[in-house]
């Protein structure tokens, strides 16, 4: 059921005591698993959209974000959820009441509303005063997508609590290497540094950015922790398993507002209370928080590519519309009107009631319900929400278009554009890259309170009733009150257009391209490389902390005693480089990125890792073959066909990194390695693929013969594929002799 409580009544008892109390496992087992879901991010990164609609109700692959979070909590065994609403609280409460969560058995959802909270700290203090949390609980935000099981992490947390009552929180983390060029993750978040005890998994240090390139650790940590691992390859999932003492700590510290910047760091620095925070790393499951437009893009792609299964478009997990999965990751609703000459490409979702005109092309995009797309329209890498009208001849690339927007004929949206609700773009107008357009003028204040004012105000340019409406109401025509300044604003978005183009404040332009749904331009990546400072060297070779207590970037471990390098599992730089190249190639496939742009990105990675051209050729070939392997292949011959398709399309790219015989031999060696380890399915078709590379003039005769010659003195186990290719090698030798 869904209930509502008001945050204005601040009476009631406490939710715990400041002193930690040891609770038995049996007592914890009798308490239903509860969760606190923060439905307000207390941030402005999704403006101007969130001036009209709360972030948690924004569509993510045509489903409100909060429904992903609630669906996961239900599947993970949570029985009671308290949803804290602040900005646009009434919209969130209405959504919960009108959704399937209202009457879900064994799963109650309670909305707690407040109009005066300015941060997560205020929210948790209010919930503490409500006295509703009775045991361990899950703390999560309503913009989180996950399919992880809570059983293991919850069990670890309870076991630690049984032994040590000061173990009050367990954070969920996952592997996520940041880009060496931009120093941000694939979710668009800053590089994160964590110091973790490898034996106990206790968190000892947390810093989400280090401008100086150094991390300072207190040397006294080593007296209690003989081994400390310093990581910059982890992602904070913002899923926390908490004990009641977390709430009482917020109640005792009114200056705590931010969950990480204040609370977490405060506990790590506090020697008095002795509270401890631990980590739980997930390996095969998915968990990510949508913090900015780039993470919105990344998580959307992950959903479409089914990393979040069963939370995917073709599985009805909370009353989402019926959608069918076709080939190449294309999802189509049952009622779609598509012209025969229109083309819908891979990794695309088309919502119910949408019509697509003749000669239009859509790829790597999400299109909502009830949209009208005209003829000769090109849409690439975009998020088109509900009831959008796009007239003939428009070009949209890597943009977000909100409900009710009208884009008149001949309009071009450059990468990174955001069009907020019911904006109208005039004919033939070109909206500049990274522009944000809204029916509201740009606010002067820069805090989340502004969104509360817009939500409660009836003096805005749009009729107030349309602001409190849910998606169904947005389908209706609403009255737009136009002031003189707004009529004047029509000229900002072309003839017949209506909307204000927000200006980018000085110093924030970098944030636009870093956090946009558009890929970072290759030219910008090269600029970053050329202007960035040289990387600081790794900490001293003996692994001890220097006298200052500073560990420089990329240090992996610090011990109070000397250690053997073989005992430490350190990933080789090439592994990270190969993963980065694979991600780049995967994005090139998804977004139809040109070969020249891929070359720029791979070159920037090569320079960042200080590697050779041969490393690029091997990594690119690996990425291509992995791509072919991921496509359906009922038989080995189908696998060869897949490989031929990928190689034929990208042969120019691969040849660019094969300037000499040495690089060609590197490709053969890489293929051998794949057949033996990471892609054993290729082992039976090694010769066919080698012959294909020869026929395409990618691998020359000399390279193949030299590779075979180098294997002559090798062990028999190392000659496996030379023997497979014996007849082919013999044919090459005979052909070479005839030429001589």
- Per the listing, tokens 């020359």 go with 700
pTM for the full model?
A: 0.69
Q: What does the DSSP 8-state code read for residue 556?
A: -
Q: How confident is the model at residue 19 (pLDDT cuts 50, 70, 90)?
A: very low
319 Rama class: left (phi>0) / alpha (psi -120 to 50) / beta: left
Residue 66 has a pLDDT of 92
The answer on 22 and 36 residing in a single domain is no
Beta strand 400-401 with 418-419 is parallel
Q: Residue 259 and residue 586: Cα distance in Å, rounded?
A: 34
Q: Which carries the bigger pLDDT value, residue 661 or residue 100?
A: 661
Is residue 524 situated within a structural domain?
Answer: no
pLDDT digits (tens, 9 = 90+) for 217-241: 777 777 777 888 888 888 899 999 9
Total number of domains constituting the chain: 4
pLDDT digits (tens, 9 = 90+) for 183-214: 778 888 888 888 888 888 988 888 877 555 56
Q: Residue 292 and residue 45: Cα distance in Å, rounded?
A: 6
Alpha-helical segments (H) within 549-594: 573-591
Instruction: Give yes or no for a contact between 501 and 492, defined as CB atoms under 8 angstroms apart.
Output: yes
The answer on 129 and 107 residing in a single domain is yes
Q: What angle do CA 592, 593, 599 make, to 5 degrees?
A: 145
Is residue 310 situated within a structural domain?
Answer: no
3-class state of residue 724 by DSSP? helix
The answer on 416 and 283 residing in a single domain is no
Is residue 288 situated within a structural domain?
Answer: yes
The answer on 735 and 677 residing in a single domain is yes
Q: Which carries the bigger pLDDT value, residue 654 or residue 26?
A: 654
Instruction: Give yes or no for a contact between 292 and 188, defined as CB atoms under 8 angstroms apart.
Output: yes
Average pLDDT, the chain: 78
The answer on 71 and 46 residing in a single domain is yes
Closest CA to 263 of 282, 281, 238: 238
Is residue 718 situated within a structural domain?
Answer: yes
Q: Residue 683 and residue 673: Cα distance in Å, rounded?
A: 10
The answer on 289 and 372 residing in a single domain is no
Is residue 217 situated within a structural domain?
Answer: no
Residue 736 has a pLDDT of 64
Instruction: Give yes or no for a contact between 559 and 226, defined as CB atoms under 8 angstroms apart.
Output: yes
Residue 454 has a pLDDT of 46
The half-sphere exposure of 273 on its side-chain side, counting CA atoms within 13 A, is 23
The answer on 12 and 88 residing in a single domain is no
Instruction: Give yes or no for a contact between 393 and 374, defined as CB atoms under 8 angstroms apart.
Output: yes
* Range from 266-275, 301-310, 470-479, 724-733 carrying the lowest mean pLDDT: 470-479
Residue 533 has a pLDDT of 40
Q: Which carries the bigger pLDDT value, residue 373 or residue 192?
A: 373
Is residue 555 situated within a structural domain?
Answer: no
Instruction: Quote the percentage of the chain above a pLDDT of 90.
Output: 20
pLDDT digits (tens, 9 = 90+) for 517-553: 888 877 777 676 666 543 433 333 344 443 333 343 3
Structural tokens at position 625: 């073959």
Q: Residue 116 and residue 7: Cα distance in Å, rounded?
A: 8
pLDDT digits (tens, 9 = 90+) for 543-567: 444 333 334 333 344 443 433 443 3
The answer on 337 and 401 residing in a single domain is yes
Residue 365 has a pLDDT of 93
Burial 610-621 (b: 16+ CB within 10 A, else e): ebebbbbbbbbb
Is residue 162 situated within a structural domain?
Answer: yes
Q: Which carries the bigger pLDDT value, residue 606 or residue 488?
A: 606
* Range from 213-222, 236-245, 472-481, 674-683 carrying the lowest mean pLDDT: 472-481
Instruction: Give yes or no for a contact between 520 and 527, defined as CB atoms under 8 angstroms apart.
Output: no
Name the strand (E) or helix (H) holding 642.
helix 636-656
Instruction: Give yes or no for a contact between 226 and 561, defined as CB atoms under 8 angstroms apart.
Output: yes
Beta strand 557-559 with 227-231 is antiparallel
Q: Which carries the bigger pLDDT value, residue 156 or residue 479?
A: 156
If 0-12 CB within 10 Å is exposed, 13-18 middle and 19+ buried, where does residue 265 land? middle
3-class state of residue 300 by DSSP? helix
Q: Residue 278 and residue 163: Cα distance in Å, rounded?
A: 14
CATH number of the domain residue 75 falls in: 3.90.550.10
The answer on 403 and 256 residing in a single domain is no
Residue 714 has a pLDDT of 66
The answer on 98 and 173 residing in a single domain is yes
Structural tokens at position 254: 């009114």
What phi and psi values does residue 339 have, to the nearest 5 degrees? -65, 150
Please name every residue paired with 279 in a beta bridge, in sequence order, or none if there are none: 171
The answer on 164 and 42 residing in a single domain is yes
Whether the pLDDT of residue 82 is over 50: the answer is yes
Residue 213 has a pLDDT of 57
Q: Residue 548 and residue 678: Cα distance in Å, rounded?
A: 43
Q: What angle do CA 356, 357, 358 make, to 5 degrees?
A: 130
Residue 211 has a pLDDT of 52
Closest CA to 301 of 331, 337, 321, 281: 331
Residue 484 has a pLDDT of 53
Instruction: Quote the percentage of the chain above a pLDDT of 70.
Output: 78
3-class state of residue 450 by DSSP? helix
Is residue 309 situated within a structural domain?
Answer: no
The half-sphere exposure of 677 on its side-chain side, counting CA atoms within 13 A, is 7
Domain that holds residue 270: 31-192+232-294
- Per the listing, tokens 């294309």 go with 330
Q: Residue 233 and residue 193: Cα distance in Å, rounded?
A: 8
Residue 277 has a pLDDT of 87
Closest CA to 514 of 30, 93, 43, 45: 45
The answer on 495 and 369 residing in a single domain is yes
Mean pLDDT across 626-637: 85
Q: Residue 420 and residue 1: Cα distance in Å, rounded?
A: 33
If 0-12 CB within 10 Å is exposed, 13-18 middle and 19+ buried, where does residue 157 land? buried
CATH number of the domain residue 637 falls in: 1.25.40.180
Structural tokens at position 539: 């900490």
Whether the pLDDT of residue 317 is over 50: the answer is yes
Whether the pLDDT of residue 17 is over 70: the answer is no
Q: How confident is the model at residue 606 (pLDDT cuts 50, 70, 90)?
A: confident
Q: What does the DSSP 8-state code read for residue 202?
A: B
Instruction: Give yes or no for a contact between 331 and 304, defined as CB atoms under 8 angstroms apart.
Output: yes
Q: Which carries the bigger pLDDT value, residue 489 or residue 592?
A: 592
Q: Which carries the bigger pLDDT value, residue 245 or residue 739?
A: 245
């Amino acid at each position: 059921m869904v209930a509502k409580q008001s945050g204005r009544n601040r009476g009631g008892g406490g939710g715990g005591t400041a002193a930690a109390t040891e609770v038995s496992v049996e007592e914890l087992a009798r308490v239903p698993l509860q969760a606190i879901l923060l439905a307000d991010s207390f941030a402005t990164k999704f403006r101007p959209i969130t001036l009209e609609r709360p972030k948690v109700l924004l569509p993510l692959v045509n489903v409100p974000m909060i429904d992903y979070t609630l669906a996961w909590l239900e599947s993970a065994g949570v029985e009671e959820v308290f949803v804290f609403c602040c900005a646009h609280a009434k919209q969130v409460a209405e959504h919960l009441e009108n959704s399937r969560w209202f009457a879900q058995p064994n799963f109650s959802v309670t909305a707690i509303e407040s109009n005066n909270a300015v941060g997560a700290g205020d929210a948790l203090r209010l919930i503490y005063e409500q006295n509703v949390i009775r045991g361990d609980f899950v703390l999560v935000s309503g913009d989180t997508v996950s399919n992880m099981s809570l059983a293991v992490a919850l069990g670890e947390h309870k076991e630690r609590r049984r032994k040590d009552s000061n173990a009050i929180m367990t954070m969920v983390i996952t592997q996520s290497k940041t880009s060496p060029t931009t120093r941000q993750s694939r979710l668009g978040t800053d590089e994160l540094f964590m110091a973790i005890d490898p034996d106990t998994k206790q968190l000892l240090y947390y810093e989400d950015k280090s401008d100086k390139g150094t991390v300072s650790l207190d040397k006294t940590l080593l007296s209690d922790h003989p081994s400390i691992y310093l990581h910059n390859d982890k992602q904070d999932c913002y899923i926390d398993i908490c004990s009641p003492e977390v709430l009482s700590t917020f109640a005792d510290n009114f200056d705590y507002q931010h969950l990480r910047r204040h609370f977490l760091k405060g506990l790590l620095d506090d020697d008095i209370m002795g509270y401890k925070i631990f980590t739980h790393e997930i390996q095969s499951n998915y968990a990510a928080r949508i913090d900015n437009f780039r993470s919105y893009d990344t998580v959307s792609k992950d959903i479409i590519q089914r990393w979040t299964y069963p939370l995917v478009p073709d599985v009805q997990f909370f009353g989402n519309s019926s959608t069918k999965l076709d080939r190449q990751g294309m999802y189509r609703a049952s009622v779609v009107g598509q012209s025969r000459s229109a083309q819908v490409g891979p990794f695309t979702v088309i919502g119910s009631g949408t019509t697509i005109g003749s000669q239009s092309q859509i790829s790597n995009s999400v299109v909502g319900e009830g949209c009208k797309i005209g003829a000769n329209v090109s849409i690439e890498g975009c998020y088109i929400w509900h009831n959008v009208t796009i007239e003939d001849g428009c070009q949209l690339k890597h943009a977000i278009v909100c409900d009710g927007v009208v884009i008149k004929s001949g309009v071009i949206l450059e990468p990174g554009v955001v069009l907020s609700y019911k904006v109208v773009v005039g004919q033939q107008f070109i909206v500049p890259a990274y522009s944000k357009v809204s029916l509201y003028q740009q606010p002067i204040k820069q805090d989340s309170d502004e969104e509360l004012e817009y939500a409660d105000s009836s003096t805005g340019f749009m009729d107030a009733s349309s602001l409190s409406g849910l998606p169904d109401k947005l389908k209706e025509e609403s009255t737009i009150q136009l002031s003189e300044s707004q009529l004047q604003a029509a000229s900002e978005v072309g003839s017949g257009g209506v909307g204000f183009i927000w200006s980018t404040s000085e110093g924030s332009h970098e944030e636009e391209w870093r956090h946009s749904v558009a890929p970072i331009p290759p030219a910008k990546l090269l600029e970053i490389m050329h202007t960035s400072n040289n990387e600081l060297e790794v900490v001293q070779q003996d692994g001890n902390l220097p006298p200052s207590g500073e560990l420089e970037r990329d240090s992996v471990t610090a011990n109070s005693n000397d250690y053997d390098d073989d005992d430490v599992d350190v990933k080789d730089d090439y592994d990270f480089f190969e993963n980065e190249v694979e991600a780049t190639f995967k994005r090139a496939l998804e977004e139809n990125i040109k070969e020249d742009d891929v070359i720029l990105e791979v070159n920037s990675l090569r320079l960042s890792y200080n590697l050779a051209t041969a490393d690029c050729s091997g990594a690119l070939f690996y990425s291509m073959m992995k791509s072919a392997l991921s496509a359906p292949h009922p038989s080995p011959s189908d696998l060869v066909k897949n490989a031929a398709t990928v190689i034929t399309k990208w042969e120019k790219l691969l040849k660019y990194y094969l300037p000499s015989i040495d690089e060609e031999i590197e490709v053969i060696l890489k293929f051998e390695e794949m057949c033996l380890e990471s892609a054993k399915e290729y082992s039976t078709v090694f010769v066919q693929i080698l012959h294909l590379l020869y026929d395409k003039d990618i691998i020359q005769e000399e390279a193949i013969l030299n590779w075979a010659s180098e294997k002559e003195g090798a062990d028999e186990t190392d000659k496996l594929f030379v023997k497979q290719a014996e007849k082919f090698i013999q044919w090459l030798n005979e052909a070479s002799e005839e030429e001589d």
